[in-house]
Structure 1
Amino acid sequence: MVDRKKLAWLTTLKKEMDSYRPLDESQLAALEQETKLEHVFNSNKIEGNTLSRNETEAIMRGVTVNEKSLKDTLEVVDLSEAYDYMQDLITTKQPLNKTIIRDINRIVTYNTSRDRSNAGAFRAINVRPSSVPLDENPYADAVDVPFKVDELVDWSRENATKLHPVEYAAKLHYKFVTIHPFADGNGRTARLLMNFALAENGYPIVNLKGDEQQRNSYIDALEAGNKDGNMDPFVDYIADKTEETLIQRNEILARNEKNIEEAAKETNLRPKFRDNENDIER
């Protein structure tokens, strides 16, 4: 069973996060850019991208990295744009639908598809993970993919407000991966969908790490339900990662609040210079 105590603890951590004053615009922009970089780097690394974090950051800033795979470079460009698209969906409060799912994948694979018309198109052939026997294939048959995606959207509409936000996000990810609707980009699309679900409920972006050990833990959690469709291990895994993220975010916000309070106390200047709402004469 899903660890309900952990989910309740996540709700408590989120309430703590919401209780802090927000970061100022410059610090918030820096944190958001760092979060985006971590997502693009790690999500691509999970899929085998060989670029380093520094190389990923350079490409995201528009700098050409010499002697690197063109495919790896274009994956960074595509995922960076898909991440921005996800953020736009959150800002405009778009409900999940089939078009959004297609468009996320379309952007994720746009520059690396041999035929761009395949980006966002459902696969026409059957596929399976290389690690499982043919008779235990968890992925949907190609002929069933359109209907399975419709079912996923219906499930989302029914459960988006019923389930705990982290449980909902994890199950959305899991269900999408078991459909595996596209020829390429399913993992990156799934992680964007999960974070879309988390962020629209006020939770921070949860970046799953791409190093070998954590990648294996992630894959193991996904594959735990292959035989019986039990999503609980994966929900618990995402809950643990969300807990780590919330704790880190709360540490940042608590530090920011403490720094502001200390700065207000530690000054010899007259009150005018301690009032953040007044302009300081220069």
Structure 2
Amino acid sequence: MRTSRLLLNATFNTIIESKEARRKERLLEIYSIYNSLSPEEKVKKAFSGEMWLGATNIFKDEQPLANIYHLGYLDSLSTSIVPQLSKNHAIWANYRLSNTHHSTSIEGNTLSQKDCEILFDSFGTYSSEQLMGVSQQDFSQILQKEATTRECLEVLFHHHAFQYISKLEEQPLSHFNENQLLNIHTELFGKSKCYCNVEGFMESNYRLIPIRVKGSETVRPYPQEVPQIMKQYFEWFHLNRERVDNGILHPALFSILAHCKFLHIHPFLDGNGRTARLLMNMILNRYGLFDITVQKKCRTKYLELLEEHQNGLTEPFHNFMVQQIIQTIKTVSKHAIVY
């Protein structure tokens, strides 16, 4: 048993090292031109995002592929079941509790769904400022177990972010802008200083340092590139929103692509995954589709297929996510009395 475990660990480490080597190779390839530029050209290139965008071409025109039968089934659910589920406030509240649990768990939060429910019941109406006055001892006493302030705040601030996107859903999607995206991210952290970097707490700002995801060969843009790349992200976003409105692109695929491209950029130091999934759910709701919950048991497959998507193999991830939307609707409807 011990030998098998050692072999498994060695194999895993080899895979990680291989991916890291490919990431470094890709990094050098993307930015090879940089050292040959004059100081003025370096500044211009760095802040334009041209090098990373030229290499990744993530905003190219595309017609994303997915299983047409799954999309058709999703469409039938969106007209038969989803409208009735959406009217039931109790179901909606319970669903968002579950979504918060799974989305934070994917990022490593160890609190159970029951813990999340207790926190919602006890502190769900608290503002960010009020939550900052709750001590670790208070959280542990309510949960009747040792709990970290960070994990409790992650859950409660995710609840705040859900409330914020519910307000955004009252306006046309054509009004969605960069400041509102930054606000979603801010809601995930409140005033907790959970989101820190070498410059200190950065509220509503993009990252100031380079970032890489352990075990991923995907190259993220340098921080100087991020602001301009995000402006182009919103140009892409609204161009494809219009394609959805004109019946050219399926709204589920639009939501999935918006999520994938955001995560490819990784504009924040922390909270990228949670922000991307909230963004995806906001889009789905705007088009009369139910939210998606990627369950924590699917974490490994979700991350593996997402990595493949960022490296050009896109259809498997699209199919996986469409199935996750369908599964979410089925799971919620099982626990509902639909009139």
> Shorter chain as normaliser: what TM range?
0.7 to 0.9
Amino acid in the other structure paired with 2:264: T
Aligned mates of 2:176, 2:316 — CA distance in 1: 24
1:267 counterpart residue number: none
- Name which of 226, 236, 243 aligns with 1:145: 226
Aligned mates of 2:113, 2:154 — CA distance in 1: 13
Aligned mates of 2:219, 2:81 — CA distance in 1: 37
**What TM-score, normalized to structure 2?**
0.67
Query: 1:118-129 maps to which residues of 2 (within 5 A)?
Result: 118-129=202-213
Specify the SS of the correspondent of 1:62.
helix
Equivalent pairs counted in the alignment come to 246
Amino acid in the other structure paired with 2:163: D
Q: Would the alpha carbon gap of residues 17 and 58 (structure 1) be closer, same or farther in structure 2, given more than 3 Å must change?
A: same
Contact 1:174 1:231 in 2 (8 A): no
Contact 2:85 2:92 in 1 (8 A): no
Amino acid in the other structure paired with 2:239: E
Q: CA deviation at 1:251?
A: 5.4
Contact 1:166 1:239 in 2 (8 A): yes
Q: CA deviation at 1:158?
A: 1.0
Aligned mates of 1:82, 1:8 — CA distance in 2: 31
1:246 counterpart residue number: 329
2:157 counterpart residue number: 78
Contact 1:172 1:194 in 2 (8 A): yes
Amino acid in the other structure paired with 1:90: E
The more displaced of 241-250 and 34-43 is 241-250
Aligned mates of 1:86, 1:216 — CA distance in 2: 27
Contact 2:109 2:151 in 1 (8 A): yes
Contact 1:96 1:156 in 2 (8 A): no
- Name which of 60, 64, 74 aligns with 2:120: 60
Aligned mates of 1:93, 1:139 — CA distance in 2: 31
Specify the SS of the correspondent of 2:295.
coil
Q: CA deviation at 1:29?
A: 1.7
Aligned mates of 1:239, 1:195 — CA distance in 2: 12
Structure 2: state its 5+ residue gaps. 1-64, 124-137, 141-145
2:81 counterpart residue number: 17
Listed one character per residue, the Cα deviations across residues 150-203 of structure 1 (whole Å, up to 9, x for unaligned) are: 121111111122420110010000000001000110000000000001011111
Specify the SS of the correspondent of 2:292.
coil
1:194 counterpart residue number: 280
Aligned mates of 2:86, 2:179 — CA distance in 1: 35
Matched, 1:163 2:249: yes
Q: CA deviation at 1:210?
A: 1.5
Contact 1:127 1:139 in 2 (8 A): yes
Query: 1:228-267 maps to which residues of 2 (within 5 A)?
Result: 228=312, 230-248=313-331, 255-257=337-339
Q: CA deviation at 1:233?
A: 2.1
1:178 counterpart residue number: 264
Amino acid in the other structure paired with 2:110: T
Aligned mates of 2:329, 2:85 — CA distance in 1: 15
Aligned mates of 1:179, 1:256 — CA distance in 2: 40
Q: Would the alpha carbon gap of residues 57 and 172 (structure 1) be closer, same or farther in structure 2, given more than 3 Å must change?
A: same
Instruction: Report % sequence identity.
Output: 26
Contact 1:169 1:195 in 2 (8 A): yes
Matched, 1:108 2:188: yes
Q: Would the alpha carbon gap of residues 250 and 33 (structure 1) be closer, same or farther in structure 2, given more than 3 Å must change?
A: closer
Listed one character per residue, the Cα deviations across residues 220-252 of structure 1 (whole Å, up to 9, x for unaligned) are: 121112323x43222111101111123345556
Specify the SS of the correspondent of 1:224.
helix
